[in-house]
Amino acid sequence: MVLVIGGKANGKLDFVRQHLGYNNADIANATLDDRPVLNNLQDLMLADPSSAESIFPTLLTKSVIICDEVGSGIVPIDRAARHWREAVGRLCCRLAEQATAVIRLQCGIAILIKGDLTWK
Amino acid sequence: MRTLVIGGSGSGKSEFAEREITKLHPAAASDKYYIATLMPFGREDEARIARHREQRATRGFTTVEQYTALAELQLPTRGGALLECLGNLAANELFAPEGAGTEHAEAAMLRGVIALESQCDDLIVVTNDVFADGETYEPETENYIAVLAAVNRKLAQRFDRVVEVVCGIPIALKGEIA
């Protein structure tokens, strides 16, 4: 599994389509099904931040997981918002541990931060 | 060696910082200090503190609580120290009754870190990336952001290493990770 992270609208989805060889039919949006790519993991977690444990094994079967980085702001006063950010961060740490490669997108530039992966 | 570690919420920065100081100071508890700045307010903080304490338990830290006035802290022996974290220290200095207040918070924090680095061989300071949510807050929160950012910049310039942690993965922004 390859984990692709970065701030909102930093080019993660484009990178996966253009450089990792997936098309729209391969990409599920914030839902778990048979498609090999999961986009917007952070939105999937919005529904139930405590679901990380139960969905973790399924996440490991994906080829690519795309997730927004959501932890780089003022800690929200709202409890649910706070827990969601924390849960998304922790889940990404666990996924990164298991991932063969982790790629971070910044301004559309892909930076390999873990593993050994080349792309076209 | 002085290292600044930065990351967002749930980025794994604490775990990295603790592993790193333990690498430098694997020996007994007597020469490794954990300086905790989180003033507990309620059950969520208590749970967080318990989780961090559990992570540290096996690594032989002596925990010291210092919520404000870091410059007054005297470490009993010389060794390694981990300060966690500047985000809480800034909040305490700015908002707690015993804090340095708006005018003096930044200077008090810098003075505190400099006093601390003079007392240990290796210092790791954990700080928070709170700068990228695109929100505009009320003036006191904006000031908090400005103070924390200023301290981060000054320490990054001063320190030997700056490491950003993303999804538990350390990325060297200055210096090298062994």
- Please name the member of B15, B141, B168 whose beta carbon is closest to the beta carbon of A74: B141
- Tell me the shortest Cα–Cα distance from A69 to chain B, in angstroms: 9
Q: Say if residues B8 and A71 touch (Cβ distance below 8 Å).
A: yes
Check residue A103 and give its pLDDT: 98
Q: CB-based contact (8 Å) between A90 and chain B?
A: yes
Residues B98, B39: Cα–Cα separation, whole Å: 12
Instruction: Provide φ and ψ at A66, rounded to 5°.
Output: -110, 130
Q: What DSSP designation does A22 have? A: -
Q: CB-based contact (8 Å) between B129 and chain A?
A: yes
Q: Say if residues B154 and A94 touch (Cβ distance below 8 Å).
A: no
Q: How confident is the model at residue B29 (pLDDT cuts 50, 70, 90)?
A: low
Q: How confident is the model at residue B80 (pLDDT cuts 50, 70, 90)?
A: very high
Q: Which residue has the higher pLDDT, B161 or B50?
A: B161
pLDDT in tens, B159-175: 999 999 999 999 999 99
Is residue B53 predicted with pLDDT exceeding 80?
no
Check residue B101 and give its pLDDT: 97
* Domain that residue A31 falls in: 2-115
- Please name the member of B11, B133, B166 whose beta carbon is closest to the beta carbon of A73: B133
**Non-local CB neighbours of B84 within 8 Å, separated by 6+ positions:** B14, B17, B34, B35, B36, B37, B38, B52, B126
pLDDT in tens, A81-109: 999 999 999 999 999 999 999 999 999 99
Which residue is listed with tokens 């985000």?
Answer: B87
Is residue B9 predicted with pLDDT exceeding 70?
yes
Tell me the DSSP string of A42-75: HHHHHH-GGGHHHHHHHHHT-SEEEEE---SSPP
Check residue B47 and give its pLDDT: 84
pLDDT in tens, B99-145: 999 999 999 999 999 999 999 999 999 999 999 988 899 999 999 99
**Non-local CB neighbours of B51 within 8 Å, separated by 6+ positions:** none
Residue A110 lies in a domain: yes
Check residue B26 and give its pLDDT: 86
Q: How confident is the model at residue B8 (pLDDT cuts 50, 70, 90)?
A: very high
Q: In what order do the strands lie in the sheet with A2-6?
A: A27-29, A37-39, A64-68, A2-6, A101-106, A109-115
From the list B76, B143, B129, B171, the residue with the least C-alpha distance to A73 is B129
Q: Which domains does chain B have, with CATH numbers?
A: 2-166 (3.40.50.300)
Q: Of A74, A75, A79, which to mutate for an interface test with B (greatest number of B Cβ within 10 Å)? A: A74
Percentage of chain B surpassing pLDDT 70? 98
- Tell me the chain B residues in contact with residue A86 when contact means C-beta distances shorter than 8 Å: 9-10
Name the closest residue on chain A to residue B137, using Cα atoms: A74
**Non-local CB neighbours of A88 within 8 Å, separated by 6+ positions:** A41, A42, A45, A49, A67, A68, A70, A71, B10
Cβ–Cβ of B167/A87 closer than 8 Å? no
Please state which of the ranges A53-67, B18-32, B84-98 shows the lowest mean pLDDT. B18-32
- ipTM of this model? 0.91
Cβ–Cβ of B137/A74 closer than 8 Å? yes
Check residue B28 and give its pLDDT: 63
CATH of the domain at A26: 3.40.50.300
- Tell me the shortest Cα–Cα distance from A55 to chain B, in angstroms: 18
Residue A120 lies in a domain: no
Residue A7 lies in a domain: yes
Check residue A92 and give its pLDDT: 98
Give the number of other Cβ atoms within 10 Å of residue B130's Cβ: 22
Tokens of A51: 């679901």
Residues A118, B37: Cα–Cα separation, whole Å: 42
- Please name the member of A74, A85, A97 whose beta carbon is closest to the beta carbon of B135: A74
pLDDT in tens, A22-70: 999 999 999 999 999 999 999 999 988 899 999 999 999 999 999 999 9
Residues A114, B169: Cα–Cα separation, whole Å: 7
Which residue is listed with tokens 């030997």?
Answer: B160
Percentage of chain B surpassing pLDDT 90? 79
Check residue A58 and give its pLDDT: 97
Rg (CA), chain A: 14
Check residue B30 and give its pLDDT: 57
Q: How confident is the model at residue A6 (pLDDT cuts 50, 70, 90)?
A: very high
- Please name the member of B44, B131, B171 whose beta carbon is closest to the beta carbon of A72: B131
Residue A69 lies in a domain: yes
Hey, what amino acid is at B136? T
B167 prior amide bond cis, ω within 30: no
Domain count, chain A: 1
Q: Say if residues B8 and A93 touch (Cβ distance below 8 Å).
A: no
Check residue B46 and give its pLDDT: 85
